[in-house]
Amino acid sequence: AFSKKRAAYRKPTKRGVVAAAAASLGQPLYEDDQLIAVAKPNGVLSMTEGTTKGVATLPDAIEHAYGVTLSDLGGPLARGVVHRLDRDVSGCMVLAKTRRAHALLVRAFAARRVEKTYLAVGVVQDGASLTGPIIIDEPIQAKPAETEVEPLASNADFALLRCKARTGRKHQVRKHCAALGFPLVGEVSPPKKRVIESPSHKGIMLHAYCLHVPGVVDVSCPPPEWWRAVPLGLALDDVL
């Protein structure tokens, strides 16, 4: 059925979407002539494997915001990308400007020389609890996957966790936290309802807090400010 509201709607242009994504970036965490490290906001794709029409990826946003050119070694849809964060996840990412840096970083990630530390907030289910660091070694898609999980603060409903991913499987930290009884705040679970909604942002409370590539780059950034608006009853001041 025709309506004036529907007729007046226009999808954002590619240029407008990219500009909006670029505006959400802060200053680079680190930059030299070989690479750039940034804090990826929630809602921005690390890259895309399909059409980019109407979609802004992190490479799009970085090139627009900082006027840099990223490596094309991974192809036009993944310029400079050597690792990924899920769309609804925030935090440190490093991208290559040159093909040389691109190849070096890919080798470092493949050899597991990269230290990746995350902060996560999970919902306590079925009385789950942690009294100290634990290593969960649970395969993902039949491939080895290992994460160290350490509780930083908790109450009856939520737990603030520090997670060190020793491998880099898809959704690894999210799946391992859920396996321990702590599905993450904002995570989608059956029947397609989020565990808990943020009053100001629909995102997952998982943040890539530190990224260390020995001899190459060492960066960190705090979680986004919207975390403060989620009613958790946890003291987050030490990490925000």
Residues carrying an active site annotation = 86
- For tokens 């946890």, the residue is 234
C-alpha R_g of the chain = 19
* Closest alpha carbon to 101 in 237, 215, 230: 215
Burial class (CB in 10 A: 0-12, 13-18, 19+), 66: middle
Tell me how far apart the alpha carbons of residues 197 and 211 are, in angstroms, rounded to a whole number. Answer: 28
End-to-end CA distance of the chain: 48
Are 172 and 147 in contact, with CB atoms under 8 Å apart?
A: yes
Cα(151)–Cα(163) distance, rounded to whole angstroms?
9
Sign of the CA dihedral running 118, 120, 170, 74: negative
